[in-house]
Amino acid sequence: MGYGALDAINTPIFGDDGLLNKIAAIARLIGKSSHRRSLPVHHSKSLPPLIVIGASTGGPQALTTILSQFPQDFPAAVIVVQHIDAQFVQGFAAWLNEQIPLPVQLAIAASTPQPAKVLIAGTNLHLVMRPDLTLGYDKEPLLSYRPSVDVFFNSVAKNWTGKGVGTLLTGMGGDGAQGLKQLREAGWHTIAQDLKTCVVYGMPKVAVELKAAVEVLPVEAIAPACIKFLS
């Protein structure tokens, strides 16, 4: 990821066409993504502000750009759902931990969002927020993407009563768009990454079409917008 890989997938057994499908999809995007990009409600007093982020293809570099702008004493908690095979997520978290000031950990069952800490979905199950505001993992629903940004965003919109910002970043398909809309309808401030700075303008595009995003911003402007809203 640090050297610019667009995605990672486990080597499949013979007969599994998932790798071929992913290669074909990325190949269609190479003409756009091969160039080098410049990287730079109800409010509850008992809960920290929460930033939730969904990303897919191109997400690691976008996340680095955003999270590197948050200071070590950042008052908000951050939770990330990045489409990546479970066998790579530990290495991804370790790599991200070296790029940004905030500590990065994999989200484990029964953990809770904490200020100045980044939690990342760590399995091929859906990360969800429970009614008691702890995190957990569910097998259902059976969707193409596991973990699903939509499933996580929907659970947060249903259960989190504090102030929050939802952000949907670069990626193929439309996962996260409906969830971002649910967050907006629940009173959250919502942001979609813009066309110019996306490696793949898929997920944010669907969110914009659904009017799920309050703001559509270049990746380098997303962190300042979060800080401004939460201040």
**Active-site residue set:** 56, 83, 175
Decide the pairing of beta strands 189-193 and 215-217: parallel
CA dist 171 and 174 (Å) reads: 8
Please report the domains of the chain, with CATH numbers, ordered by start residue. 50-230 (3.40.50.180)
Cα Rg of the chain, angstroms: 16
- Is beta strand 215-217 parallel, antiparallel or unpaired with respect to 164-168? unpaired
Per-residue pLDDT of the chain (231 residues; tens, 9 = 90+): 555 565 666 665 545 555 555 666 666 555 544 344 433 334 445 899 999 999 999 999 999 999 999 999 999 999 999 999 889 999 999 999 999 999 999 999 999 999 999 999 999 999 999 999 999 999 988 777 789 999 999 999 999 999 999 999 999 999 999 999 999 999 999 999 999 999 999 999 999 999 999 999 999 999 999 999 998
- Cα–Cα dist 187/190, whole Å: 9
Residue with tokens 């990626």, as numbered in its chain: 171
